[in-house]
Amino acid sequence: MDYEKYMNICIQLAKNGEGNVSPNPLVGCVVLDKDDNQISTGFHAKYGQNHAERDALLKLSNGEEKDGTLIVNLEPCSHFGKTPPCTDLIIERGIKKVVLGMRDVNPKVSGIQKLQDAGIEVVEGVLEDECKKLNEIFIKNMTENKPFIALKTATTLDGKIATSSGSSKWITSEIAREEVKKIRNRYDAILTTSSTILKDNPKMIHKKKIILDRNLKTNLEADIYKNGEIYLFNETLDMFEGGVNFIKAPIKEDKIDLNFVFEKAWELGIKSILIEAGGHLNGNALEYVDKIYQFIAPKIAGDNSALSCFDYRKITEISECKNFTIQATEMFGNDVLITYYAIQ
């Protein structure tokens, strides 16, 4: 059987839950009958709703899944949470084989042993790397108890995000900007700064937003404050007022302490953050960033005074550069998206 074919289907199904399942993982499922014909699919659509395995199996009512195979990108759960254990339903429905992409890093799960004890054959590790990439946020949350931090920037070929006068609309194409909306949807919160708000007055329509405004320079009538939950980190106020959560933050090296911001975000239940800001914040955040999305337009500013995407320090040796590994390159119109990860 072509397990990889069906695991790819699981991964694509799982992505339908992006932006809706946090803090749960993204999961998709395919069910085959005893003759290896696909008879059902499912995915985890929203936190608190049925898991992918339950979604797929409950679509079947005539017993056609008996002695069949269930394929899922993540080990089925064996504990009660918002929903009953998926392993119990798999056993009850007479499934004879379960094919997994990866084991669950949540120690509560332990579904494999329960399935094997029930006489079900378990096949592991199908497209494991791809399955881990799909749930990189969930894995970091579970293994490190920290939010996953990503950063998005849009630049010219020579790494500029705006001219010296601040002109930046638009560096990239509308096609690329539509992809940015999809990327934002993957993360619990967007983080930006007062400088970006004052310069661009962005709407950043999102369910949760983290704003760094040390001296409270932004106007609460700005577009960014008109939607979503707002967490405004600053130096003086610690209160809730006008729909805004003011959070007093310590100052480190004349800036709001980013370590405090990310720790506080975790306490607030924010599992993933996408940074969209200027070069100074981008650069200072690099020590925390897990993943970077860099859109590059086929343009050259050629101006040393234009603003750079990572502009936060001076170095004398090339060996002082921070190193990354490139995971993917994609084209959106004439623009290229390079996705890369920090080397730990």
Same domain, 85 and 195: no
For the segment 207-255, what is each residue's pLDDT rounded down to a tens digit?
999 999 999 999 999 999 999 999 999 999 999 988 899 999 999 999 9
pLDDT at 81: 63
- Reference 95, options 57, 124, 62, 126; nearest CA is 57
pLDDT at 264: 98
SS3 (DSSP) at 20 = coil
Same domain, 85 and 194: no
Dmax (CA) for the chain in angstroms is 71
Q: H helices of 186-257, where?
A: 194-200
Same domain, 168 and 269: yes
Amino acid 309 reads C
Neighbour count for residue 168 (Cβ, 10 Å): 17
Round to whole Å and give the CA distance between 156 and 171. Answer: 7
pLDDT at 137: 97
Q: 290 and 149 in contact (C-beta within 8 Å)?
A: yes
- Reference 29, options 1, 59, 6; nearest CA is 6
Tally of domains in the chain = 2
Same domain, 153 and 116: no
Same domain, 103 and 179: no
- Looking up residue 93, the CATH number of its domain turns out to be 3.40.140.10
Q: Which of 4, 18, 53, 121 is catalytic?
A: 53
Same domain, 169 and 188: yes
pLDDT: which is higher, 10 or 307: 10
Chain-centroid distance of CA 70 in Å reads 26
**The domain boundary residue, chosen from 85, 104, 135:** 135
pLDDT at 167: 74
Same domain, 162 and 271: yes
Answer whether residue 79 shows pLDDT above 70: no
Round to whole Å and give the CA distance between 69 and 72. Answer: 10
DSSP 8-state code for residue 76: P
Answer whether residue 109 shows pLDDT above 90: no
Q: 66 and 54 in contact (C-beta within 8 Å)?
A: no
Tell me whether the omega of the peptide bond preceding residue 23 falls within 30 degrees of 0, making it cis: yes
The region of weakest confidence among 134-143, 197-206, 235-244 is: 197-206
Domain that holds residue 168: 143-342
- Reference 94, options 72, 125, 63; nearest CA is 63
- Looking up residue 314, the CATH number of its domain turns out to be 3.40.430.10
Neighbour count for residue 318 (Cβ, 10 Å): 6
Same domain, 59 and 169: no
Same domain, 85 and 159: no
Same domain, 114 and 9: yes
pLDDT at 42: 97
SS3 (DSSP) at 72 = strand
**The domain boundary residue, chosen from 73, 105, 135:** 135
Same domain, 181 and 292: yes
For the segment 26-35, what is each residue's pLDDT rounded down to a tens digit?
999 999 999 9
**The domain boundary residue, chosen from 114, 135, 156:** 135
Same domain, 98 and 229: no
Q: 52 and 44 in contact (C-beta within 8 Å)?
A: yes
221 catalytic? Reply is: no
Q: Which residue has the tokens 């924010």?
A: 270
